[in-house]
Amino acid sequence: MRVALFLTCVNDTLYPDTGRAVVRLLTRLGVEVDFPLGQTCCGQAHYNTGYRHEAEPLARRFAEVFGGYEAIVTPSGSCGAMVREQYPRMGGRARAEGRGNTLERVLAPVVPKTYELTEFLVDVLGVTDVGAYYPHRVTYHPTCHGLRGLGLGDRPRRLLQAVRGLELVELPGAEECCGFGGTFAVKNPDVSAAMGADKVRNAESTGAGVLCAGDNSCLMHIGGTMSRLGSGMRPVHIAEILASTEEEPAV
C-alpha cells in the first residue's frame, strides 16, 4: 500500500519528532510511507478565519500533491477534518457562486482517502496493539475536530490501552475544548487562556505526567500554558507514544 504522510505545516516546521514517529510507527507496521515534498498547508487557518478564497489554491495544491496515493495519513485531527469536512463544502460553495463544479471535482478524490492517524491504524490496518512500550502514567485529551468532526470515538483510547507499561487515566472534562481554536487563541486571548488553564488544572488532577493528544497545535497551546504555569506535566503527541518501543523508547 502506497501511503502518503500529510504531516501538516505546523508539524513540519515545529514538531519534526512527531513526523519521525509516524514514519517509524507505520514502517514498523509494514506500511510503505512517502513524504511528498510538494506538500505545504491544507488551508485550515485561512478557511476558518474567513479567508476561504485564499484557502482554495492551497486545497487545489493538496489534491494535486496527494491525488496519486492510495491513502493519505495525517497526525492531526483538525487538518484531517479540514480535508474531509471542509473541502467538499468549499467545492459546493464555489458551485453555488456560479463558478462551476471544477473545484468540487478536483478536490473530491482526496476526501475519502484522507485518514487521521488513529483512524488509519484501527480502520484501515485493523490494529489496536501496535507493539508499543511507554512506561508512563498518561491522560488523553480528545481534540475537538478529531472528536466531533471526524468522530474518532474510542480509537485513540483503544490504541493507548494496548501500549505496554502505559497507565491510562481518565481526564475530567475531557471533551471540553482546550481553548486553542487556531486564530481564536490570539483574537480572544483571555477566554482562550482561561480555557487552557482549566484544561491544565484538570490534567494535573489526574496525577499523570503526560497529557496526550492527536493534534500538536492544541498541544502547543496546552503545553505553552503548562510551562508558563510551572506545571510538571508534558504534552506528548499520540504518534510519539505509539512509536515508542522497549528497544527505542521515546524520551
Partner 1 sequence: MSVTFVGMPAFPVAAHEAVADSTLRGNLRHATHTIRAKRAAAVAEVSDWARLREAGRRIKDHTLRHLDRYLVQVEEAVTAAGGTVHWAADAEEANRIVTALVKATGESEVVKVKSMATQEIGLNEALEAEGIRAYETDLAELIVQLGKDRPSHILVPAIHRNRGEIRDIFRSEMREWGRPAPEGLTDAPAELAEAARLHLREKFLRAKVGISGANFVVAETGTLVVVESEGNGRMCLTLPETLISVVGIEKVVPTWRDLEVFLQTLPRSSTAERMNPYTSMWTGVRDEDGPSAFHLVLLDNGRTDTLADEVGRQALRCIRCSACLNVCPVYERAGGHAYGSVYPGPIGAILSPQLRGTQSEIDASLPFASSLCGACYEVCPVAIDIPEVLVHLRERVVQGGPATRQGNKVVLKPAKGHAAERAAMRAARWAFSHAGALRGGQRLASRTRRLHPRTLPGPGRAWTGTRDLPPVPAEPFRDWWQRTHGGQEGTK
Interactions with partner 1, residue window 141-180 (CB under 8 A): 144-145, 148-149, 175-177, 179-180
For partner 1, give the closer residue by CB, 163 or 199.
199
Q: From the list 39, 76, 114, 202, which residue makes contact with partner 1 (rule: CB under 8 A)?
A: 39
Shortest spacing between CB 124 and partner 1, in angstroms: 22
Find the DSSP H helices in the chain: 9-14, 16-28, 44-49, 52-66, 77-81, 87-96, 102-107, 117-119, 144, 155-161, 184-187, 189-204, 216-229, 238-243
Distance (Å, whole) CA 163 – CA 245: 9
Stretch that binds partner 1, among 35-43, 102-110, 118-126, 161-169 (CB under 8 A): 35-43
Nearby residues of 124 by Cβ (< 8 Å), 6 or more positions away = 71, 115
Shortest spacing between CB 185 and partner 1, in angstroms: 6
Q: From the list 2, 32, 53, 70, which residue makes contact with partner 1 (rule: CB under 8 A)?
A: 53
Q: From the list 4, 25, 45, 208, which residue makes contact with partner 1 (rule: CB under 8 A)?
A: 45
Residues in 93-112 that interact with partner 1 by CB under 8 A: 93, 96
Q: From the list 30, 126, 190, 251, which residue makes contact with partner 1 (rule: CB under 8 A)?
A: 190
Shortest spacing between CB 239 and partner 1, in angstroms: 12
Nearby residues of 59 by Cβ (< 8 Å), 6 or more positions away = 42, 43, 87, 90, 103, 107
Place of cell 499523570: 208
Shortest spacing between CB 52 and partner 1, in angstroms: 5
For partner 1, give the closer residue by CB, 166 or 221.
221
- How many helices (H) and strands (E) the chain has is answered by 14, 8
Stretch that binds partner 1, among 66-74, 120-128, 157-165, 190-198 (CB under 8 A): 190-198
Q: Which of 180, 147, 215, 155 is nearest to 8 (CA)?
A: 215
